[in-house]
Structure 1
């Protein structure tokens, strides 16, 4: 039996692949723990929820945070995921000089229908190890929103689930709540 070695890439190598055309804008991929991972296709419910969240977050937070939609963040030397939304500290260059890093991130939001297990078992632990303060996973199937807080190397120590009829707020902005039902308006 032959053991196959898998090449682990750094962010610099990953970005260089894009610069020279090995990876293009048409490739829906992200770098997770050194592996180039193909992202799931986006369905209409997923797109609608991301659009709704982008508008809600922009309207409520634009004076205190930058809302980034489906763009990369750098969480380690070997991980450059593309969360559905990132709530970031404002910067005058709008992150054109470098990708947002953990210290720039108030919260990340993943919208999940077909990717719920991946978001829970791969992305949330990755974000916890990177010390991302807060992650929301919007589960379009249940429907519910899982709130992950208090990161540690072993994962988040606080996980809460909220459902339609309840509200939630980012811990960085507790005075700006969102109705769960408004976020999950089109979920089954």
Structure 2
């Protein structure tokens, strides 16, 4: 097993979740089981706010990659952010989030695999935020390839001078 996969597997086991394998089927089952409960994985927006506000103006077009059910996008709208595209591989989750935030036009939700974001044109975002998605990818088959595909897609989508924020629990040797 690759070092990154081992680290991600160990993290999942520490959290009491031995099913995490970075696949769509896992995510679908988890979101159905949880019924759309919101979580602040890794860091809540309040802790990240100083960095986000300093690096990303509210008029920016943002891509929230592997959005899950976190409240960060909603909190960013409260701070004046006007366009946040949230993507996740789980169609169940995306449908739940569309219903939950139907009244916030600043938030869009799309089902998409982070390794292939070809629905978006090149240089179409000012900022991409990834909170934990790398760790999920590192649990799957061909983890290093999946991680590289995601990063290459982010590079393709960011405008020159764009901001890429990546939050991971993986230690440097594993990432």
TM-score (norm 1): 0.29
Structure with bigger strand share is 1
Structure with bigger helix share is 2
Q: Which has the larger radius of gyration?
A: 1
TM-score (norm 2): 0.30
